[in-house]
Amino acid sequence: MTKLKVKITVQQTSTVSETTVAIGSQVISKLKLPSRGSIILQYGNTQTTVHILSIPKWNGLRLQPNLASNLGLLSGSQLSCVYRPSSNTLTIGPLIGVIIRRIKASDPENLLGNNSSFGREFAEACNLYGASMFFFTHDDIHLDQPYVSGWTYHEDQWRKSHFPIPNIIYNRLTSRSIESSTTVQQFMRDSKLNYDTQTFNEKYLNKNEVFDALKHEGILTHSLPESHLLLNSNMLKTMLAKYPSVFLKPIKGSLGKGIIRVRREGANTYHCHTVSMGGLRRQTYPTFAKLITAMSGKFKSASYQIQQGVDLIAVNGRPVDFRALVQRNSKGIWAITSIVARIAGNQTFVSNLARGGTLHNVESALSMSNLNPQQRSLVKVRLRKCALDVAKGIENQIQSHFAELGVDLAADTNGRVWLLEVNSKPSKEDNSPLNDHKIRPSVRRIIQYSKYLAKF
């Protein structure tokens, strides 16, 4: 089946009907289209019957304005085309809908907030690789209607329009409550059942869910710190008797917020470090009972995962961890897109950029650590293998569709690699390779996988 990228032109032509599509003879020849008669034209999940008008020595598609408007097509778009003779259908696209939390219609320069630069980059990449995209929120969903309102970046500006139900929904929602809302969940279900739309990164992963699932993956046994859902104070006491330090992580937390490190010193002294918006808070408790009394309010307000503390490699006393961005490629196979090292800021133990952490390439971070050269080489190999094993393990054990995962890993002072956390909504800023790409590999891979899913 031949696939082709073509330019869409929208132009009023008084000599042909509204449902006539002018198609260049080169396109007709390459796609093996009929040179006359009618075909079904499909964009996203909207279909319409059109008449073909062959244009000699031309290599594009030209539509009348009303037809283009009804389909949601913009002039100048560069889209992929596939002709399927069995259904006499010319499919153009794919159309990718990116659902996000908020759109600032009153601020065109900052329309998508922190996602604005990513949005422009994503639009440029779509045009380059033969796809189209739009961004929308839960407020743009019209249940029981075959279209979605949304914004696309075209000719250097954001434009609002109506779009067909897309071939692909890329879930970039950063609000668990909006993601689980009736409107969003029904839209996801209806799009899949009625339009065969594929949605990836369907949901947030909570920390305990990930570790409970991956315990069934034998290949990861050596990389999983002991982790449990914190049920009571006895569990904390048992873990502190077993390990010199433990971490308490809100199972629905992100950006390092709310993480608590508890270190045991001797038999009865406990040092508690808490990450908050104001920085790192340190407190010491002379007995376990006083520790529990001080923390009881936190335990009532949120669910925590308790995790074995690991003696991480450090640079100048600051812990180092690694973020691997693992994405499905153009063949649907998990692959490493990038791995970066993150060195924690001063006076803290979390490496998130939002908490003062700094990005480094893996080689330089390892060279500054106390690992010997042989250990450094082994760690680089182990990081890649562990990240891929984690992605495959989540695919095997969790019944949701993911196409990209931010896998947080660490190496201890013996060179052993550990899994710290998995993020199903990885930040585009946090996961960029440390070099200057006009279009980042991470963005390119999203489009390649979307085309694979939509059979382009």
What is 134-199 written as a DSSP string? EEE-GGGB-TTSSEEEEEEEETTEEEEEEEEPPSEEEE----HHHHTSHHHHHHHHHHHHHH--EE
Say yes or no to pLDDT of 299 above 90: no
Residue 430 has pLDDT above 70, yes or no: no
Residues 419 and 319 in one domain: yes
Supply the range of the domain harboring residue 63: 3-93
Q: Are residues 375 and 283 in the same domain?
A: no
**Same-domain status, 368 and 408:** yes
Q: What is the average per-residue pLDDT within 234-240?
A: 93
Would you give the DSSP letter of residue 353? Answer: G
pLDDT score recorded for residue 356: 54
Residue 447: inside a domain, yes or no? no
CB 419, CB 225: distance < 8 Å: yes
Task: Say whether pLDDT at 416 is over 90.
Answer: yes
Q: For residue range 61-104, what is the model confidence (pLDDT) as tens digits?
A: 999 999 999 898 999 999 999 999 999 999 999 999 999 999 99
Instruction: Of 262, 260, 264, give the one whose Cα is nearest residue 275.
Output: 260
Identify the CA nearest to 180 among candidates 192, 171, 169, 168: 171
Whether residues 329 and 295 share a domain: the answer is no
CB 92 within 8 A of CB 115: no
In a domain, 207, yes or no: no
Report whether pLDDT(238) > 80.
Answer: yes
Min mean pLDDT across 146-155, 223-232, 316-325, 428-437 is at 428-437
pLDDT reading at 274 higher than 50: yes
Alpha-carbon distance of 373 to 367, in angstroms, equals 8
Cβ atoms 403, 391 nearer than 8 A: no
Q: Is the pLDDT of residue 431 over 50?
A: no
47-73: pLDDT as tens digits? 999 999 999 988 999 999 999 998 989
10 Å CB burial of residue 84 (0-12, 13-18, 19+) is middle
Do residues 333 and 406 share a domain? yes
3-state secondary structure at position 324: strand
Q: Is 269 left (phi over 0), alpha (psi -120 to 50) or beta?
A: beta
Structure confidence at residue 351 (pLDDT): 46
Residues 77, 38, single domain; the answer is yes
Calculate the average pLDDT of the chain. 90
Contact 390, 220 (CB under 8 A): yes
- State mean pLDDT over 135-145: 94
pLDDT of residue 64: 95
Phi, psi torsion values for 390, nearest 5 degrees = -65, -45
Which whole-number Å values give the CA distances from 330 to 124, 161, 307, 327, 399, in the listed order? 18, 29, 36, 10, 22
Domain end: 93, 119, 150, which one?
93
The rounded Cα 239 to chain-centroid distance in angstroms is 33
- 311-322 average pLDDT score: 89
Q: What is the CATH number of the domain that holds 325?
A: 3.30.470.20
- pLDDT (average), residues 286-310: 89
Judged on CB neighbours under 10 Å (0-12, 13-18, 19+), 395 is middle
Q: Does a structural domain hold residue 428? A: yes
What's the average model confidence in pLDDT over 384-398? Answer: 97
pLDDT tens digits for 148-203? 999 999 988 999 999 999 999 999 999 999 999 999 999 999 999 999 999 999 99
Question: Regarding predicted confidence, which is higher, 345 or 109?
Answer: 109
In a domain, 280, yes or no: yes
Domain final residue, candidates 93, 127, 152: 93
Whether 86 and 115 share a structural domain: no
Residue 1: pLDDT over 80: no
The candidate with the shortest Cα–Cα distance to 133, out of 99, 109, 107, is 99
C-alpha to C-alpha distance for 130 and 244, rounded to whole angstroms: 54
State whether 397 and 329 are in the same domain. yes
In terms of domains, do 127 and 188 share one? yes
Instruction: Round to the nearest angstrom and report the end-to-end CA distance of the chain.
Output: 10
Counting the structural domains of the chain, the total is: 4
Q: Lowest-pLDDT range, 80-89, 134-143, 267-276?
A: 267-276
Beta bridge partners of 335: 327
pLDDT at 436: 52
Q: Are 88 and 99 members of one domain?
A: no
Q: Are residues 234 and 304 in the same domain?
A: yes
Write down the pLDDT at residue 209: 92
Question: 418 and 332: one domain?
Answer: yes
CA distance 57 to 348: 65
Closest CA to 403 of 414, 394, 412, 413: 394
Using the 3D structure, point to which of 282, 308, 334 is the last residue of a domain: 308
Residue 201 backbone class (left: φ over 0; alpha: ψ -120 to 50; beta: rest): left
At residue 10, does pLDDT exceed 90? yes
The answer as to whether 380 is a domain residue is yes
- Please count the other Cβ atoms lying within 10 Å of the Cβ belonging to residue 450: 28
CATH number at residue 23: 2.40.40.20
**Quick check: is 302 in a domain?**
yes
pLDDT for 353 equals 47
Q: Is residue 210 part of a domain?
A: no
Give the model's pLDDT for residue 16: 84
On the 0-12 / 13-18 / 19+ scale of CB atoms within 10 A, 65 is: middle
* C-alpha torsion sign, points 281, 287, 293, 297: positive
Which SS3 state, helix, strand or coil, does residue 257 take? Answer: coil
Region 239-246 average pLDDT: 93
How buried is 109 (Cβ within 10 angstroms: 0-12 exposed, 13-18 middle, 19+ buried)?
Answer: exposed
pLDDT of residue 93: 93
Residue 209 within any structural domain of the chain: no
Cβ atoms within 10 Å of 391's Cβ, excluding its own: 23
